Structure 1
């Protein structure tokens, strides 16, 4: 019998981030990023060594989830 291993994604694209934020539009996501930057809590940088492909810029999953938890937009799963 083979064991199934569940692995978290390493890189997610902008479209997935928008879905995590409730299905917001690309424009709304851009505006939210501007607001966060002005508030002194900038959205994580794109993952180094990646190019925007289908779905937009790519970000590190762990960075995005930490940011969203810090902003109170998702609940921490480490409790």
Structure 2
């Protein structure tokens, strides 16, 4: 999903990034400043999430070492940064 020049993460990407980093929901909540309930609701598809909230989550995951790959016909994804 994209807003302007920025790619906004999907719930699936959020879960994949957390798994790759071995972060729990509470760990991500602490790092992002977003409540664990909000993260859980987003990852489970119960809330689309506000853009500012998703940017906080994405920034925390990127700072921890993942890169988000935009949808390019093959599907969006994540990868660990060396």
TM-score normalised by length of structure 2: 0.35
Query: Which protein has the larger Cα radius of gyration, Structure 1 or Structure 2?
Result: 1
TM-score normalised by length of structure 1: 0.36
